[in-house]
Amino acid sequence: MADTLTITDNRTGKQYDIPIKDGAIRATDLKQIKNGTEDTGLITYDPAFMSTASCRSRITFIDGDKGILEYRGYPIEQLAEHSTYLETAYLILFGELPTDAQLKEWTKQIMLHTMLHENIKKLMEGFQYDAHPMGVFLSTVGAFSTFYPDAKQIFDEQSRKKQIHRLIAKVPTIAAYAFRHSIGRPYVYPDNDLSFAGNFLNMLFKMTELKYQVNPVLERALEILFILHADHEQNCSTSAMRGIGSSHVDPYSAMAGAAAALYGPLHGGANEAVLRMLNEIGSVQNIPGFIKRVKAGEGRLMGFGHRVYKSYDPRAKIIKRTADQVFAVTGRNPLLDIALELERIALEDEYFVSRKLYPNVDFYSGLIYQAMGFPVTMFPVLFAIPRTSGWIAQWEEMLLDPEQKIARPRQLYIGAKRREYVALEKRS
Ligand code: ACO
């Protein structure tokens, strides 16, 4: 017998058998539950989508209680150990690891599209010298839709593929230009002889030398960080990408919205907030006082807690290891001692233990980025570069899913009942 949920409506005495599939009931199956002919049917109320699946997806699997993260079935630990960002992006987008020939062709296509239109450069020059690079990033991604009107052909597979190549290839260039703009240095054109991460470092940090020498430890660390951030199923920015994309707008416009969602301090801005917090704490002696304030509800321990992970975020473990390798090259980040001590205390403290608050991906990533020479304002941009592959994979999956329609949640109206307009002079 198929799994069902039997609901008795006490208002009418009627019983309903609602099918359960893949551990879920369809909210629309509740519509048949009506209290009288005027009733349009029962709906569910779920602010912040705490308990509502909005899609079927084959891309990323997370078991938050067990601390498991897999892309297309491959554990994140194995990908971080053996893969590169471009290979992982291919996996996320196309569902399988590429063959040697496929990887070469994919890499060639991506590296072919790393340059930006010169007018994009002019557009970026229009920003204030102190513009936040994430604001520059999301505006520039949105502006792309005007440069590539062919991107409107969202149901043309070849056109979609082209936008995928462009987006993955160009986001590091936009990010690097935004960074160079913020420090008043000339933009560096891509060097396609280098790897994806190596070229990014080149566009960020090259000075007058003819050929930028990539440090292999930093290059690998960046690849790992990119792999870890490539996708994370239906998070805030991905839901934004799917939600905006469901109106059938072009992927650049949808991705500008996704990047805007990532900008927020509760999402991609969290590692920036972690560093600010560590700087504010200032020294290990101040930690007990800080923890006390957090427990009293006067602020949060940034980089701790996650909507899905109720155990140690698997990405945080990998990042912690990577941090040691990076610090061996760059020198130890002095804020690391504060972070380690905060983590030690929080993992023993009843407040954090009972709420299952563990370090998330952002707790250590900011320390690495800072040691590599990035200002904190670049952190969300560094997140957006690899997340581009996840966003567009999820966008394409949404477009090709025959069950999807324009996203349009319901509401429970609790405002004023109908009333008559009052002329201005009669209002008290
Ligand atoms: N510090 C202190 N207390 C916390 C924290 C924290 N970082 N996170 C959650 N709590 C407490 C809440 O106050 C609440 O306590 P209560 O039950 O006594 O009211 C309880 O834990 C549950 O918290 P919620 O806010 O309901 O959890 P939610 O799943 O909505 O929030 C979130 C998840 C937003 C990530 C939250 O843990 C947070 O704000 N963390 C800090 C910001 C952060 O690191 N964000 C990065 C997330 S990872 C990413 O986006 C890549």
Q: Which of 79, 111, 55, 423 is nearest to 226 (CA)?
A: 79
60, containing H or E segment: strand 60-63
Catalytic residue among 29, 165, 191, 267: 267
% of the chain beyond a pLDDT of 90: 88
Residue 407 has pLDDT above 80, yes or no: yes
Mean pLDDT of the chain: 95
Q: Evaluate whether 4 touches 20 at the Cβ level (below 8 Å).
A: yes
pLDDT of residue 285: 94
Rounded Cα distance between 230 and 213, Å, is 26
Question: How far away, in angstroms, is 306 Cα from ligand 1 center?
Answer: 6
Dist CA 77 CA 410 (whole Å): 39
Pick the residue whose CA is nearest to atom 16 on ligand 1: 355
Query: How far is 230 from 384, CA to CA, in rounded Å?
Result: 9
Which tens digits make up the pLDDT trace of 132-168?
999 999 999 999 999 999 999 999 999 999 999 999 9
pLDDT tens, 384-397?
999 999 999 999 99
Could you tell me the pTM of the whole model? 0.92
| Span 63-120, pLDDT tens digits | 999 999 999 999 999 999 999 999 999 999 999 999 999 999 999 999 999 999 999 9
What is the distance in A from the centroid of ligand 1 to the CA of 303?
Answer: 9
Q: What confidence tens digit (pLDDT) does each residue in 161-194 have?
A: 999 999 999 999 999 999 999 889 999 999 999 9
Q: Quick check: 334 pLDDT over 90? A: no
Q: Is 231 a catalytic residue?
A: no
**306 is an active site residue:** yes
Which of 195-199, 266-270, 403-407 has the least mean pLDDT? Answer: 266-270
DSSP lists the bridge partners of residue 70 as: 61, 75
Confidence of residue 213 (pLDDT cuts 50, 70, 90): very high
Whether the predicted pLDDT of 1 surpasses 70: no
Using alpha carbons only, give the angle 316, 203, 190 rounded to the nearest 5 degrees: 115
Q: How are beta strands 4-8 and 68-71 bridged, if at all?
A: unpaired
